[in-house]
Structure 1
Amino acid sequence: MNAAAIRLPGGAGSAAMARHFVRTQLSAWALADAGGDALILTSELVGNAVLHGGGAVAIRLVRTDSGIRIEVTDREPRPPVPRPAGVDGGFGLGLVQRLSADWGVVPGRTGKVVWLECALS
C-alpha cells in the first residue's frame, strides 16, 4: 500500500499547501492527470478543518485499488454537519458528497478524522 502524510499549521495557506502535497504525491504515483477532483476535495476538507477544527491539521493520502483515500485530522471532536449552500458558505460538504465515491467521519480522543474516497479512472 502506498501512503503519504503531512502536518500543516492551520491558517489561510493550509489549503494551498494541501493541494500542493496531493498534486506532488499523485505525480509520484503516476496519477497526476487523474487528480482534479482530489485537489478540489482536499481543499474542501482542509478548509473546513482549519475553519471549524481549531488550528493544525494532518493529511494522510492512501493509494487504493480504485483510487485514493484522503484523510484530514483536526482537533474538533464534533462531526461536520452538511448545511444548505448559501451566501455564508455551506458548499464544502455538498461538494464532498457529490464528487467523492464515499466519505465519513471517525471520532478520536482529541478530535476526528474526516475521510473520503476518490475514484480515479
Structure 2
Amino acid sequence: MKEIWYKLKEIHEGSEDIREQKKSLLMAIYESFKMEPHENIDKMCCRLHDIVKDLKGLGKEYSLGEKNRKILNALAKEWEPKSIAIEESKNLNSMPIESLINSLTSFELKLKY
C-alpha cells in the first residue's frame, strides 16, 4: 500500500529532481522579483504571494521579515521615500504583511492624486 501511495505522490508532484528544479527556478524568480510597470500594489503582492506559496509547497519558506523586505525592495523608484520611512519606523520582522500592504496602498492612492 505504501508503494502505491509513493508512486501516486511522485506522479502528482514529480520526482525529487523535478521538485528541486522547480524550487530552484522559483527561488530565482523570487530573488529577481520586481514591481512591473503600471502594476498596483495588490497585483504585485498577489504575484509574490503565489511564488511564496509555491515555494512553501516545495519546502522553501521565508520569514515574515524576509517577505516584508522583498515587498519593499521590489517597489518602483517613486516608492523609495515611503519604503525608507517604513523600514526606519517599523520592525519588519514582526509587522504583519497586511499592515505593510495597507500602508503601501494608502501611499499608492496619494501617488495617483
TM-score by length of 1: 0.33
Q: Which has the higher strand share?
A: 1
Q: Which has the higher helix share?
A: 2
